[in-house]
């Protein structure tokens, strides 16, 4: 089945820890994105990548890092510099700039 | 002023009625407009998109765009309890891949 997978579904982080969220797609999409969603709010763009080995900061990149070594994979690291990381993290991919398809999300909680 | 604004709701509609959702945006350079549906705890799914002024229909859904007044709306005809969800409006400029999301409108369809 073609689609976008994210893991883990739930993640708990202690203060000062870095954690990495996985995003994989087998849709052969060039572009991939990371969004953050806080309760009752819309999505905010963290990072996006239009092609392998290239990525750009979104609106709220501080405290996050990404890599794009393979077309299928776009992992997001939440570093200890991100002071309020508790949120729902959504990965998306697109073949065209307009139609973005989302993965199931990872819910991150800071203990 | 937020870039994309939506009434957070909840918008309560009886089953079989028309639900009308509105979204206003501030960037006059916006060229593409999207409606996503998000069930509680799930990721957003694209319902439809619209580029040109006027109406676009897809099944029970109609998107309406008025660029002069900078608003886009979504009508859901014959509302069903399964339509109960949060509806997110998103806009995109002509250049680039960045989607800007509103905070979403929660819709409750009562049997």
The model's pLDDT over B12-65, given as tens digits with 9 standing for 90+, comes to 999 999 999 999 999 998 999 999 999 999 999 999 999 988 899 999 999 999
Asked if the C-beta of B107 comes within 8 angstroms of chain A's C-beta atoms, the answer is no
Look at residue B1 and tell me whether its pLDDT is greater than 80.
no
Look at residue A97 and tell me whether its pLDDT is greater than 80.
no
Residue B67 near residue B54, CB atoms below 8 Å: no
A55's tokens: 């990525």
Mean pLDDT (whole number) for B84-92: 96
d(CA A7, CA A25): 12
Mean pLDDT (whole number) for A30-39: 94
How confident is the model at residue A2, as a pLDDT?
A: 65
Q: Are A40 and B8 a contacting pair at CB < 8 A?
A: yes
Task: Give the mean pLDDT of chain B.
Answer: 94
For the segment A41-96, what is each residue's pLDDT rounded down to a tens digit? 889 999 999 999 999 999 999 999 999 999 999 999 999 888 899 999 999 999 87
How confident is the model at residue A48, as a pLDDT?
A: 95
How confident is the model at residue B2, as a pLDDT?
A: 77
Q: Which residue has the higher pLDDT, B4 or B1?
A: B4
Percent of chain B with pLDDT over 90: 86
d(CA B83, CA A62): 36
Which chain A positions have a beta carbon within 8 Å of B90's beta carbon?
Answer: 42-43
Q: How far is CA A56 from CA A34, A42, B62, B101, in A?
A: 11, 20, 34, 18
Residue B106 near residue B86, CB atoms below 8 Å: yes
Query: A2 Cβ partners below 8 Å, 6+ apart?
Result: A26, A27
How confident is the model at residue A74, as a pLDDT?
A: 98
Which chain B positions have a beta carbon within 8 Å of A45's beta carbon?
Answer: 98-99
Look at residue A15 and tell me whether its pLDDT is greater than 80.
yes
């Amino acid at each position: 089945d073609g689609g976008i997978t994210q893991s883990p579904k739930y993640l708990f982080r202690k203060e000062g820890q870095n954690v990495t969220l996985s995003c994989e797609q087998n849709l052969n999409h060039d572009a991939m994105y990371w969004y953050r969603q806080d309760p009752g709010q819309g999505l905010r763009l963290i990072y996006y990548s239009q092609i392998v080995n290239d990525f750009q900061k979104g609106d709220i990149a501080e405290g996050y890092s990404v890599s794009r070594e393979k077309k299928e994979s776009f992992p997001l690291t939440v570093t200890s510099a991100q002071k309020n990381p508790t949120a729902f993290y959504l990965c998306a991919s697109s073949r065209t700039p307009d139609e973005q398809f989302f993965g199931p999300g990872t819910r991150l909680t800071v203990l | 002023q937020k870039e994309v604004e939506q009434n957070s709701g909840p918008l309560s509609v009886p089953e079989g009625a028309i639900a009308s959702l509105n979204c206003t945006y501030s960037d006059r350079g916006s060229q593409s407009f999207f409606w996503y549906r998000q069930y509680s705890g799930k990721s957003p799914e694209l319902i439809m998109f619209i580029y040109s002024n006027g109406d676009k229909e897809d099944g029970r859904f109609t998107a309406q765009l008025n660029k002069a007044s900078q608003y886009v709306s979504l009508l859901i005809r014959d509302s069903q309890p399964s339509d109960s969800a949060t509806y997110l409006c998103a806009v995109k400029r002509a250049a680039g891949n960045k989607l800007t999301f509103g905070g979403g409108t929660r819709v409750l369809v009562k049997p």
